[in-house]
């Protein structure tokens, strides 16, 4: 539990040690741009010092815009990309430096489901083989037992076990995501990293999958890291939520608190940007539009990375980088919004907010 001070992070209230812990994780990608002459070297800081904890049975949501590093973070945890620095602990064991063989074993406890279920399923394999494969790799059960297990899993995710011998293209998007979930469950994991699991699905189907994930969590005691750009879905499913910007966590809090009392100016801007499906409320809401765009992650910032776009920017923000501070509601900002300022309220334009 000795995380660097700058990366102090909200600890869930239960006294149990976290099931999964990430300490100051960095994933940097070096790049070379241009041709022989005028060649530029640099580093994309996709994940740049993230610390987080996931408790047993908890759902931690991770939100942020494209390029914020949320997917790379998940891949770094599972070592689908190699972290540049930092530590990952799972069930009391450090896993970022174990051998390949050991990592294979670790992955039976730590699984992932992906956004595009079709791209993540082998089109030439039957559903039965797709779901059984992780068991084969893990050396679980004999052939007959595996077949029964596949049928049990298909049933569990709401698919007819008779579909065993069919191919992925015969299924709709929602059904394919169920197959992806069954495959992830095949090795009895304790944690599932869900990377945009519903964003490719039609609205009416999204709710089916969200409900399924919640049911499975209850039945099997699973823990989720739920990564999505859809803030409404994350509010619905997550117990705690972390907001990422340019490779860093800028705010972490209980779901309700984060949505009702955001403290980071970026979080507030993000929330106010989401249109609510209610025309009357939508007309009454304040929309503080965020100017500009997410800058390229290959730049180094002496100060706060959000300063360029921030309505509350002060001189200090350009000089010093704010750490993620706070216990149950952590925020990385020198001038966070007041605790009692709701994002529909009027208290947020107080002193200091310099606008363009």
Mask for 275-314, x = binds another protein (CB under 8 A): xxxxxxxx----x-xxx-xx--------------------
Q: 194 phi and psi, to 5 degrees?
A: -105, 110
Note whether 214 binds another protein by CB under 8 A: yes
Of 212, 250, 253, 341, the one binding another protein (CB under 8 A) is 212
The yes or no reply on residue 52 touching another protein (CB under 8 A) is: no
- Per-residue binding string, another protein, 144-173, x by CB under 8 A, is -----------xxxxxx--x--x---xxx-
- How far apart are the C-alpha atoms of 156 and 206, rounded to whole Å? 18
Distance CA 64, CA 82 (A): 22
331 binds another protein (CB under 8 A): no
The Cα–Cα gap between 66 and 23 comes to: 23
Q: Characterize the bridge pairing of strands 40-54 and 20-33.
A: antiparallel
Give the residue carrying structure tokens 């499913």.
237
- The answer to whether 103 contacts another protein (rule: CB under 8 A) is no
| Beta carbons within 10 angstroms of residue 211's beta carbon | 12
Q: Which stretch binds another protein (CB under 8 A): 74-82, 112-120, 215-223, 347-355?
A: 215-223
Nearer to another protein, 86 or 247 (CB): 247
Candidate residues 57, 125, 205, 314; the one interacting with another protein per rule CB under 8 A? 205
**Interface with another protein includes 253 (CB under 8 A)?**
no
Q: Which of 66, 142, 165, 340 binds another protein (CB under 8 A)?
A: 66
114, 151, 90, 87 alpha-carbon torsion, rounded to 10°: -30
Residue 231 binds another protein, judged by CB under 8 A: yes
Closest separation between CB of residue 8 and another protein, Å? 27
Is 71 near another protein (CB under 8 A)? no
In the Cβ-directed half-sphere of 268, how many Cα atoms lie within 13 Å?
Answer: 30
User: Taking the complex as a whole, how short is the minimal distance between the CB of residue 326 and another protein, in angstroms?
Assistant: 22
Question: Which tokens belong to 123?
Answer: 């089109």
Q: How far apart are CA 243 and CA 264, in angstroms?
A: 9
- Asked whether the beta carbons of 343 and 268 are under 8 A apart, the reply is yes
Query: Read out DSSP for 11-67?
Result: PPSSSSPPSEEEEEEEEEEEEEES-STT-EEEEEEEEEEEEEEE-TT-EEEEE--TT
Of 51 and 120, nearer to another protein (C-beta) is 120
CA dihedral sign of residues 60, 13, 249, 343: positive
Contact 86, 21 (CB under 8 A): no
Query: How many other C-beta atoms lie within 10 A of the C-beta of residue 199?
Result: 14
Question: How far apart are CB 44 and another protein at their closest, in Å?
Answer: 16
Interaction between residue 102 and another protein (CB under 8 A) = no
Q: Record the tokens describing residue 188, joined without a space.
A: 């009895």
Q: Work out how close the CB of 235 gets to another protein at its nearest, in angstroms, rounded to a whole number.
A: 6
**Is residue 261 close enough to count as binding another protein by CB under 8 A?**
no
Per CB under 8 A, the list member of 112, 271, 332, 341 interacting with another protein is 271
Nearest-approach distance from CB 280 to another protein, in angstroms: 6
Q: Interface residues with another protein (CB under 8 A)?
A: 65-66, 155-160, 163, 166, 170-172, 174-175, 178, 202-212, 214-216, 219, 229, 231-233, 235-237, 255-256, 259, 269-282, 287, 289-291, 293-294
């Amino acid at each position: 539990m000795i995380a660097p001070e700058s990366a102090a992070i909200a600890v869930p209230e239960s006294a149990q040690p976290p099931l999964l812990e990430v300490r100051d994780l960095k994933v940097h990608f070096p790049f070379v741009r241009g041709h022989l002459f005028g060649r530029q070297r640099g580093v994309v800081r996709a994940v740049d010092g993230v610390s987080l904890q996931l408790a047993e049975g908890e759902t931690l949501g991770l939100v942020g815009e494209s390029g914020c590093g949320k997917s790379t973070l998940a891949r770094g945890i599972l070592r689908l990309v190699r972290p540049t620095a930092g530590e990952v602990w799972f069930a009391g064991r450090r896993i970022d430096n174990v051998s390949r063989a050991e990592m294979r074993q670790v992955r039976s406890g730590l699984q992932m489901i992906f956004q595009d279920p079709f791209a993540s399923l082998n089109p030439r394999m039957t559903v039965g083989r797709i779901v059984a494969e992780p068991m084969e790799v893990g050396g679980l059960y004999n052939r007959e037992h595996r077949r029964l297990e596949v049928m049990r899993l298909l049933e569990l995710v709401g698919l007819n076990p008779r579909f065993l011998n069919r191919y992925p293209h015969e299924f709709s998007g929602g059904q394919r995501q169920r197959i992806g979930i069954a495959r992830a469950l095949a090795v009895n994991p304790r944690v599932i990293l869900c990377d945009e699991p519903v964003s490719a699905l039609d609205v009416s189907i999204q709710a089916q999958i969200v409900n399924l994930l919640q049911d499975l969590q209850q039945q099997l005691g699973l823990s989720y890291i739920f990564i999505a750009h859809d803030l409404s879905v994350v509010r619905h499913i997550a117990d705690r939520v972390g907001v990422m910007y340019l490779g860093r966590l800028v705010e972490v809090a209980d779901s309700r608190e984060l949505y009702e009392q955001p403290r980071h100016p970026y979080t507030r801007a993000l929330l106010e940007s989401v249109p609510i499906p209610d025309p009357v409320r939508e007309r009454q809401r304040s929309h503080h539009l965020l100017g500009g765009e997410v800058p390229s992650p290959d730049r180094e910032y002496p100060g706060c990375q959000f300063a360029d776009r921030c309505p509350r920017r002060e001189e200090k923000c350009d000089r010093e980088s704010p750490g993620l501070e706070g216990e149950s509601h952590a925020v990385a900002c020198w001038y966070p919004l007041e605790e009692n300022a709701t994002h529909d309220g009027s208290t947020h334009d107080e002193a200091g907010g310099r606008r363009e």
